[in-house]
Amino acid sequence: MHFQWYPGHMTKAKRMMQEDMKLVDVVIELVDARIPFSSKNPDIDEMAKNKSRVILLNKYDLADENHTDNWKTYFESQGYFVTLVNSKNGNGVRKVNDVVQHACKEKIERDRKRGILNRPFALWS
């Protein structure tokens, strides 16, 4: 008997993400600060390999501060832009806009030189 462990709706969602990725400038990935490597989706790494990447370490208040700092340093060394957030109480959410702007800085400058004005990015909490 053969079991399909990857449900059809996940395959469909992955296919849709691959199509939409062409329209995306920056990918924001929310991971659990307590288990950041385990909570990352490895499929996103392949789909977004040529995009600016932002990692939000969520629930940082529940994680060990030293480990969180080490993970932040690790992800930054891998080329990610990283910030700490707590989606439950909103701590750090306002920093996300700044991190995204920083991640898109090169694209914004390139577009500005070509006369393209980007729409402002807004994050609602």
The ranges assigned to domains in the chain are: 8-113
List pLDDT tens digits, range 21-48. Answer: 888 889 999 999 999 999 998 889 888 8
pLDDT band at 125 (very low <50, low <70, confident <90, very high): very low
Per the confidence metrics, is the pTM higher than 0.85?
Answer: no
Say whether pLDDT at 103 is over 50: yes
The candidate with the shortest Cα–Cα distance to 102, out of 39, 30, 28, is 28
Per CATH, the architecture of 8-113 is what? 3-Layer(aba) Sandwich (3.40)
Please, which pLDDT band fits residue 120 given cuts at 50, 70 and 90?
low
Measured CA distances, 27 to 5, 51, 58, 83, 85 (Å): 26, 7, 16, 14, 16
As a whole number of angstroms, the distance between CA 53 and CA 80 comes to 5
| Residues 59-100: tens digit of each pLDDT | 999 999 999 999 999 999 999 999 999 999 999 998 998 999
> For position 5, what pLDDT does the model report?
67
Predicted pLDDT of residue 7: 74
**pLDDT at 121 exceeding the cut of 80:** no
